[in-house]
Chain A
Amino acid sequence: MTIARFWRENSPRYNLQASKCGNCGKISFPPRTVCPNCHRKSIGKMQEFQLSGKGEVFSFSIVHDAPAQFQKQKPYIVALIKMDEGIMITGQIIDCELDKVEIGMRVWASFRKLGEEGPGGVIHYGYKFHPEL
């Protein structure tokens, strides 16, 4: 992906910045311009909302057949995390033995390197999750 494509999403990816509908209160991540519940009633009423970064594992997989940019990390855990705010996020689980991950496990988000644009290229950062400390 190009630099601009990553850069313009930095805010949600760095800070877990979500959106909250001013009409019904529904939280969306990544942030949305229109609330899927309220449609036009939500236009102009979408507010920024900060996620706590805490949640639990809803489901997971251990990836063995990894894409090029994840070759050095395989096998790694990828999971659907049910955040305490009720929404779900896809992310890696790190600092966790492969046989210790389980559905319902409490996790916290942390700021990590996601990848880079080749040697000497821009480094992409974002969230990953680790077991609750």
Chain B
Amino acid sequence: MREVAIIGIGQTKFGELWDLSFREIGIQAGLAAVYDANVASEDIEALYVGNMSAGRFIEQEHVAALIADYSGIARDNIPATRVEAAGASGAVAIRQGYFDVASGLHDIVVVGGAEKMTDVPDAQGAAIQDSAADQQWECTFGATFPALHAMIAQRYMHDYGVPREHIASVSVKNHKHGALNPKAQFQKEIKLETVLRSALVAEPLRMFDCAPLSDGGAAVVMCSMDKAWKYTDSPVKILASSQSSDTLALHHRSTITSFGATKAAMRKLTKRTGVDVSQINLAEVHDNYTISELLALEDIGFFPAGQAGKATVDGQTQIGGRVAVNTSGGLKARGDPIGATGVAQIVELVTQLRGEAGKRQVSNAKYGLAQSVGGTGSTVVMHLLGVA
């Protein structure tokens, strides 16, 4: 296995991008990454695109070929592949690009992710998100994607005696970070009361516990480490990539207050890198719901079970705390264009590790950890990045 570096990053603004089509979003992100990497289009040997459901959001399948075409690289006949794993689509795409370069098959690969969610009405967008869960045995019986996470939150509060406010504080913290990110969908701080008084979605979760429907794209350029210096003075290394799965339906787990797939992916990452969680002070985790961030922080090992909410309230997960979590604003404030999300996490970590994060810069970060989740913990992908 060769060492792999990220030499370019790009991201569109996330939000309700009514004036931009899916293909324009994909191209904007891709071109920004290619420009940042300073590579010529003929140097690109493969393209991966993370996308969950273009077929249902814009009635367009075959989107990898579409992006390759409109970004002008199709004429070079490179392989262009779409990758789908619900919420983890972008992260699995990152992993495919990593394999290509690590294996020696390709030297330079572009990995993008994009989703166009606001061309359908909100209710339809929510129904499409539900399809990450088991349609036949969960959704048919009235469970929605938010309701499944609400049941996790309900049981979590029951088992650990955690107050509702602790869960809500994740949203407050992520909005605080998002306010510092010019690419974020919501660049506004909120109060705890805003979360607790927002519309009920699935009790106990309210609107401000949930990531929004978003449009957006993100992309990175990967290169073998030995050639990376040719293009950039600040390559960021992918130290390891890991992926784990679990049952599709939540009801088939022995516990729902922890994701076994996150724990397994973290174990693999630690084994492959020798980097202990105590050495990590920068992380992007999958806060599609406030409760999800608490589970992630506990399953990764930043905090003991039942303690991540208290840690959030105490400021331990904000910039300047024990570990800066979701400095981009996370899915909640940066936005969650599903296929782009896992790639955007990597874009944020690279920005931080290069020292280019401006007002939200985390000091002394040697490593950056990304955790991306598909479904209710059915797919978990993790990457550990480090300064080269």
Contact = CB atoms under 8 A, between A and B. Distances in A.
Interface in A41-59: 58-59
Contacts of A76: 142
Contacts of A87: 251
Interface residues of B, number: 35
A61 B251 contact: no
Q: Which of B127, B151, B155, B199 has the most CB of A within 10 A?
A: B151
Contacts of A90: 137-138, 141, 143, 249-251
Contacts of B151: 59-61, 78-80
Interface string A5-31: 100010000000000000000000010
A67 B130 CA distance: 9
A34 interface: no
Contacts, number: 98
Given A90-B138, A92-B142, A80 B250 contact: yes
- Interface residues of A, dominant DSSP: strand
A64 B126 CA distance: 13
Interface residues of A, number: 35
A126 B139 CA distance: 13
B130 A61 contact: no
Contact of A9 (B136, B154, B158, B249): B136
Contact of B147 (A9, A63, A114): A63
A133 interface: no
Interface of B: 123, 126-127, 130, 135-144, 146-147, 150-152, 154-155, 158, 199-205, 249-253, 256
Interface of A: 1, 5, 9, 30, 58-68, 70, 73, 75-76, 78-80, 87-92, 103, 114-115, 124, 126-128
